[in-house]
Amino acid sequence: MHVESLARKHDRTAIRSALKLLPTQLDDIYHEALERINRQNSDDVLLAERVLYWISFARRTLKVKEIQCAIAVQNLESDETRIDDEGIPDEDLLVAVCAGLVTIDKENRVIRLVHYTAQQYFERIRETKFPQAQVLITEACLRYLSLDSLKNDVCFTPSKIELLMEMHPLLEYAARCWGYHAVGRPEQLLKDRILEFLAENSRVTNSIQVMMHQYYLFSDLGIAPGENRLWLAAAFGLKEIIKVLLEKGVEIEPRGVKRATALNIAATQGHTAVVQVLLEHDANIETKGVHGETALHNAAEYGHEAIVQLLLDKGADIDIKDDNGQTALFKAAEGGQLAIVRLLLQHGADVQSEYFDDCSPIEAALWAAHYEIFKLLLKSTVNTATMHRYATRALFTAASHGPSIMSSSTFQVLLDQCREGGIPEEVFESAVRMHNGSPAQVTCDNCSASILNTDVHFHCDICNYGDFDLCERCVRNGKHCFSQSHQLGSFKLA
The structural domains of the chain, with segments of one domain joined by +, span 227-317
Supply the pLDDT for residue 387. Answer: 61
Residue pair 48/97 in contact (Cβ under 8 Å)? The answer is yes
Supply the pLDDT for residue 456. Answer: 79
Distance of CA 298 to the CA centre of its chain: 11
Kindly give the confidence (pLDDT) of every residue in the chain, 494 residues in length, as a single tens digit, with 9 standing for 90 and above.
Answer: 555 554 554 455 654 555 455 555 677 888 889 999 999 999 999 999 999 999 999 999 999 999 999 999 999 988 888 898 888 999 999 999 999 999 999 899 999 998 888 898 999 999 999 999 999 999 999 999 999 888 766 666 777 888 888 999 999 999 999 999 999 999 999 999 999 999 988 888 888 888 887 665 444 455 554 568 899 999 999 999 999 999 999 888 866 566 688 999 999 999 999 999 999 999 999 988 878 899 999 999 999 999 999 999 999 999 999 988 899 999 999 999 999 999 999 999 998 887 755 678 887 887 777 878 988 887 787 665 666 566 666 666 655 555 555 556 656 666 666 666 555 555 555 555 555 555 455 778 877 676 765 577 888 767 765 667 888 888 888 888 877 777 787 776 55
Residue pair 440/414 in contact (Cβ under 8 Å)? The answer is no
* CA separation for the pair 95, 102 (Å, rounded): 6
Supply the pLDDT for residue 159. Answer: 78
* CA separation for the pair 262, 208 (Å, rounded): 13
* CA separation for the pair 398, 411 (Å, rounded): 8
* CA separation for the pair 342, 74 (Å, rounded): 49
Look up the pTM and report it. Answer: 0.76
What's the topology of domain 227-317?
1.25.40
Supply the pLDDT for residue 164. Answer: 87
Angstrom CA distances, 231 to 9, 224, 298, stand at: 57, 12, 15
Residue 489: HSE in the Cβ half-sphere, 13 Å Cα cutoff: 16
* CA separation for the pair 218, 223 (Å, rounded): 9
Between 305-313 and 338-346, two packed helices, what is the crossing angle to 10 degrees? 20
Radius of gyration of the chain (CA): 31
| Burial grade of 488 (CB within 10 A; 0-12, 13-18, 19 or more) | middle
Total length of the chain: 494
